[in-house]
Amino acid sequence: HYIHPFTDHGQLAGRGARVITRGEGIYIWDSEGNRILDAMSGLWCVNAGYGRKELADAAYQQLMTLPYYNSFFQTTNVPAAQLAAKLADLAPEVGGRHFDHVFFSSSGSESNDTNVRLVRRYWDLLGQPQRKTIISRHNAYHGSTMAGASLGGMSGMHAQGDLPIPGIVHIEQPYYLENAKPGESEAAFGVRAARWLEEKILEIGPDKVAAFIAEPVQGAGGVIIPPATYWPEIQRIVDQYGILLISDEVICAFGRLGHWFAYEKFGYRPDLVTFAKGVTSGYVPLGGVMVGDRVAKVLIEQGGEFNHGYTYSGHPVACAVALANIRLIRREGLVDKVREDTGPYLAAQFETLKAHPLVGDAESRGLMAAIQLVKDQARGTPFAPELEVGMVCRGHCFGNGLIMRAVGDRMIIAPPLVTTRAQIDEMMGLIRRCLDLTWTDVRARGWV
């Protein structure tokens, strides 16, 4: 009866689905009673870990007090107003820019649809209606609605349903292993990759470009970490041409990279910040856009009515859970812990993976990490994609009680922020075992 997301239904009907029935801490259990270490935090969202009673209590209390009311027609509700103020307080000021306002939705996709509406409205109000084009990147993920999938750069998604919609174009991603020239340094590549944005702006005409959208670190694309030179050069370019910068932090905000918001880590100055997932640790759906003062001022002072909003914008239960989640993350010092303790510890562990013969590269930032599987470690030669070595490895992970995702031959993790050093050790043991099993398979099949 159930049409699953991103699933081949014919295949699923034949194989059946694994049923997940319970979660506690960083572990989930399936209906067969198997315990699985969830190194993906569900889908990058269960930042506070499973089974947090105070999040359930916050939802219950709010459900009993006021389960729903909208924020249309000059009304509001207490949790939505409180959460907006709390988020404004958490979002750091950079270069004199403040985030005093927030627009709520129920997901990352909806939030990016809101971004498209917001940036086009902004330029209309400033008397530049020709500024419509939004530039994004290949292999970006910005959601699955018409605008979200169009902003994203997933060719498989564009191929279904005549996407992207008009006015959205893509440049190449800052993926060193795939897009650098032979012998090019990471630093030089970072600047060159950022200048693809400038080339695209000049090709379209600077007066026609509305915004650039990007993830601080690409998540669904395979945890692709840009060189340190990338973001400063992007900032120079958006400043020079006056275009809006949208930081899509649906994965990276709320502690994933050791900061409440990731733009702080990389030191750039976005005008709009998309968030979802970790804001409630995934316990209930909530998303939104932090609106910086550049856009907020125009929208509020010149905008009149903004003809946009969702039934569940500022949903009181979702906002109450988000407030409880932020309190919990603060009380347990999880953001600092990731930045100063478990993040660096994971990075040191990942460094040791580079000795494994199957590993071409292993890298992490905060609690977000990737392992590149290669055929020839010395030369960095990839496997033929049709061998699907990543899927072989993922199969071993499932079989050994570990959720680690495969994006092509990149194995990726993003464990809950509550993960301890001892649990990182346990996870590394499982990762090594699965790499060994995969290595045995690829040798037995004559693939190396």
Whole-angstrom Cα distance, residue 405 to residue 215?
A: 19
Shortest Å, Cβ 143 to ligand PXG = 4
Shortest Å, Cβ 192 to ligand PXG = 24
Give the DSSP H/E element, type plus range, for residue 158. Answer: helix 155-158
- The residue among 276, 284, 347 whose CA lies nearest residue 110 is 276
What the block records as the tokens of 395 is 């199969």
Asked if 370 interacts with ligand PXG (CB under 6 A), we say no
**Number of residues in contact with ligand PXG under rule CB under 6 A:** 17
Stretch that binds ligand PXG, among 27-35, 244-252, 344-352, 432-440 (CB under 6 A): 244-252
- The residue among 348, 347, 336, 353 whose CA lies nearest residue 369 is 347
Asked if 219 interacts with ligand PXG (CB under 6 A), we say yes
Shortest Å, Cβ 447 to ligand PXG = 25
- Given a contact cutoff of 8 angstroms between Cβ atoms, the answer to whether 208 and 129 are in contact is no
Enumerate residues 106-135 that contact ligand PXG by CB under 6 A.
107-109, 112
Asked if 272 interacts with ligand PXG (CB under 6 A), we say no
Shortest Å, Cβ 153 to ligand PXG = 11
Stretch that binds ligand PXG, among 21-29, 105-113, 305-313, 366-374 (CB under 6 A): 105-113
Asked if 215 interacts with ligand PXG (CB under 6 A), we say yes
From residue 440, alpha-carbon distances to 118, 391, 396, 402, 436 in Å are: 52, 14, 11, 18, 6
> In the sheet where 287-291 sits, what is the strand order?
101-105, 287-291, 272-275, 244-248, 209-214, 133-137, 168-171
Query: Which DSSP letter does residue 103 get?
Result: E
Closer by beta carbon to ligand PXG, 273 or else 392: 273
Asked if 220 interacts with ligand PXG (CB under 6 A), we say yes
Helix segments in 37-106, DSSP class H: 41-44, 53-65, 78-90
Closer by beta carbon to ligand PXG, 140 or else 335: 140
Whole-angstrom Cα distance, residue 226 to residue 219?
A: 12
Shortest Å, Cβ 121 to ligand PXG = 20
Asked if 42 interacts with ligand PXG (CB under 6 A), we say no
- Given a contact cutoff of 8 angstroms between Cβ atoms, the answer to whether 377 and 359 are in contact is yes
In the Cβ-directed half-sphere of 5, how many Cα atoms lie within 13 Å? 5
Stretch that binds ligand PXG, among 96-104, 224-232, 248-256, 257-265 (CB under 6 A): 248-256
Sole binder of ligand PXG in the list 104, 141, 283, 312 (CB under 6 A): 141
Asked if 163 interacts with ligand PXG (CB under 6 A), we say no
Whole-angstrom Cα distance, residue 407 to residue 414?
A: 13
Asked if 248 interacts with ligand PXG (CB under 6 A), we say yes
* SS3 of residue 367 by DSSP: coil
Closer by beta carbon to ligand PXG, 141 or else 283: 141
> Any idea of the CA torsion for 151, 153, 156, 159, to the nearest 10 degrees?
60
Asked if 254 interacts with ligand PXG (CB under 6 A), we say no
Asked if 397 interacts with ligand PXG (CB under 6 A), we say no
Asked if 270 interacts with ligand PXG (CB under 6 A), we say no
Asked if 43 interacts with ligand PXG (CB under 6 A), we say yes
Closer by beta carbon to ligand PXG, 144 or else 377: 144
- Residue facing ligand PXG at closest CB distance: 108
Count the Cβ atoms, other than its own, within 10 Å of residue 426.
16
Stretch that binds ligand PXG, among 101-109, 205-213, 418-426, 432-440 (CB under 6 A): 101-109
* SS3 of residue 376 by DSSP: strand
- Given a contact cutoff of 8 angstroms between Cβ atoms, the answer to whether 138 and 151 are in contact is no
Shortest Å, Cβ 170 to ligand PXG = 15
Sole binder of ligand PXG in the list 213, 250, 374, 404 (CB under 6 A): 250
Binding site for ligand PXG (CB under 6 A): 43, 107-109, 112, 141-143, 148, 215, 219-220, 248, 250-251, 276, 287
